[in-house]
A and B are shown apart, each in its own frame.
Chain A
């Protein structure tokens, strides 16, 4: 494109950018307004932190925050360990056995998880896991997408190092932990970031699998503390800022990894 055309394009893309970012800025701005404000009044901007202290003092909000962090961390660590294991096994095992199992994982990528809410809800009741951390964590420790990513990645790793370790008499587990896992770091970072984001933001399953206030994660707590007709918007927005801004900062730091994770799936296609 010519230089002028490039600048005009840039201008257009900036307008789109403003549309994309405006609601987020609006949320932040509204969270600083006086309690009871409905819409930000640009002629009369307030800058109070009061709503944030209200948020943290009420509704177990600190607890929601802890739950979200605890659940997202555990699920992320689980996926990093287990998907790497399975990916490694699928990549190195005899293909007449691993191929159908790999296909079972790929096929599950196509299953819309939301249609499984009722059987999983029933299962958690039966296991006695309903309303506990188990329900929020255990079913999500391995993801088909993670297996897919890790298998593809391990496929691309040379086997020499593993063989060398084997000749030196290393056991299979120590080969996996000492040789394979360290080589997988880039893929594990992608998987970890992806899993953390998905778990942190997930709503439907946490909503149905727990029902006591102390067990809510941030999204569930936020949705339920909000009664649109009677709610105090600046407080709700302060809660929303707490639930989303850490993730956005995290994204801006790990942007490349997140982007890779998403495009990896697209390119493999």
Chain B
């Protein structure tokens, strides 16, 4: 065998994984979405696109989509801006900057289940956050934040921002470190203060980091599940029902695999559209600068 062919042997593991665990599930999932496959029956018949039309008329599914969008667009701007500001401040080499960087990252390496359990306690009636709101005269919902449809989703969003910030601080810091130091030094010599330097040099040069952070966070946030599973199961009144939870509940818990697959596929398409759109925006920006 010639050498290049021997080298191809090394690629075989991925080639087989790609086919078996990525391409096949992706297409099989689409096929399932066109059937009325039931877990208990173990089979299903081809029913064309009726799962899709049924979904579009299903208010529960629509609620799950709305909640997911709410979650994604409510958290990402806050997380991004907060992480950026923290990273800019840490990059000034203030006393203790290494400790800050490490400590902010701890939530990101902790299992989401653990975090959700802790916050379940803090958000409950007489939990610490609940008490804090009461002492501040803010009238939190009597039974706890997660028990009221007005506050449950907000509470989960707040927790998610808290979890995610440290991770994006790290990515922004990497972006800031990649900026040529001469640029920032020159500005410093010219007497530009922290705000001026950040606004006119650092932030404009972080464009691709921004894009990376937003794409990453969008793909991640659209898939929110664990928080919902542990904290609310989608309650109260579906106010925290997200699409992946909908897929899990319909598909795994109730065994309506065909219907749930269609829901998963719609979510998949939405995420793809957003990712591609964001990539397109990045490219446009790149040609502009």
Contacts and interface: CB of A to CB of B under 8 A. Distances in A.
Given A118-B260, A200-B111, A20 B117 contact: no
Interface string B208-219: 110110000001
Interface in A185-217: 197, 200-201, 203-204, 207-208
A93 B4 CA distance: 6
A9 B111 contact: no
Secondary structure at chain B's binding surface: helix, strand, loop or mixed? helix
The residue among B113, B117, B268 with the most chain A CB atoms within 10 A of its own CB is B113
B25 A116 contact: yes
B247 A118 contact: yes
Contacts of B133: none
Given A20-B106, A20-B162, A208-B252, A38 B121 contact: yes
B52 interface: no
B46 interface: no
B112 to A, nearest CB: 6
Given A20-B103, A20-B166, A86-B14, A120 B113 contact: no
Given A117-B248, A240-B117, A269 B208 contact: yes
B226 A203 contact: yes
Nearest to B98: A255
Given A14-B96, A20-B162, A105 B14 contact: yes
A114 B170 contact: no
Contacts of A121: 251-252
A199 B114 CA distance: 15
A13 to B, nearest CB: 5
Contact of B112 (A89, A104, A203, A266): A203
A262 B14 contact: no
Given A240-B117, A266-B174, A117 B247 contact: yes
Contact of A147 (B14, B21, B94): B14
Given A6-B95, A93-B8, A112-B219, A122 B110 contact: no
Contacts of A243: 111, 113-114
Nearest to A236: B117
A10 B226 contact: no
Interface residues of A, number: 89
Nearest to A109: B219
Interface in A73-129: 82, 85-86, 88-90, 92-94, 97-98, 101, 104-105, 108, 110-123
Nearest to B110: A244
A116 B194 CA distance: 46
Given A89-B7, A200-B111, A118 B251 contact: yes
B170 A122 contact: no
A120 B8 contact: no
A203 B247 contact: no
B212 to A, nearest CB: 5
A11 B121 CA distance: 28
Contacts of B225: 114, 203-204
Interface string B256-280: 0100110011011001100100000
B14 A142 contact: yes
Contacts of B171: 262-263, 266
Interface in B68-109: 86, 89-90, 92, 94-97, 99-107, 109
Nearest to B119: A23
A115 B247 contact: yes
Contact of A90 (B11, B29, B112, B175): B11
Interface in B1-33: 3-4, 6-11, 13-15, 17-18, 21-22, 24-26, 28-29, 32
Contacts of B275: 110
Interface in B25-57: 25-26, 28-29, 32
A201 B28 contact: no
Nearest to B144: A228
Contacts of A176: 10
A218 interface: yes
B109 A85 contact: no
B79 to A, nearest CB: 13
12 contacts: A1-B92, A6-B92, A13-B97, A27-B118, A82-B14, A101-B11, A110-B275, A111-B26, A114-B223, A204-B226, A222-B111, A269-B211
Interface of B: 3-4, 6-11, 13-15, 17-18, 21-22, 24-26, 28-29, 32, 86, 89-90, 92, 94-97, 99-107, 109-122, 124, 126-128, 131, 162, 165-167, 170-171, 173-175, 178, 193-194, 208-209, 211-212, 219, 222-223, 225-226, 229-230, 244, 247-248, 251-252, 257, 260-261, 264-265, 267-268, 271-272, 275
